[in-house]
Amino acid sequence: MLKPLALRLQPGQDLKVELDTLVQIRNIEAACIITRAGFDQQKNSRGGSRLDAIYQER
């Protein structure tokens, strides 16, 4: 079953660091990013982004 999780990042937060933290805290074994929206302060899409949903399989 897919379980949606939402993650909102503030400007300056690192997308990869926050995703790694979420995976560890929630003990997620497999996930995918469905969509994201927001403003990128850097070309590598790591700053000031809003991640709309992550779906977790259990």
Asked if residues 57 and 30 have their Cβ atoms less than 8 Å apart, the reply is yes
Query: Which residues pair with residue 50 across a beta bridge?
Result: 8, 37
Per-residue pLDDT tens over the stretch 32-46? 888 777 766 655 544
Name the pLDDT band for 23 (thresholds 50, 70, 90). Answer: very high
Structural domain containing residue 53 = 2-57
Say how many domains are in the chain. Answer: 1
pLDDT of residue 57: 53
pLDDT of residue 25: 94
Give the whole-angstrom CA distance, residue 49 versus residue 29. 24
Give the predicted TM-score (pTM) of the model.
0.57
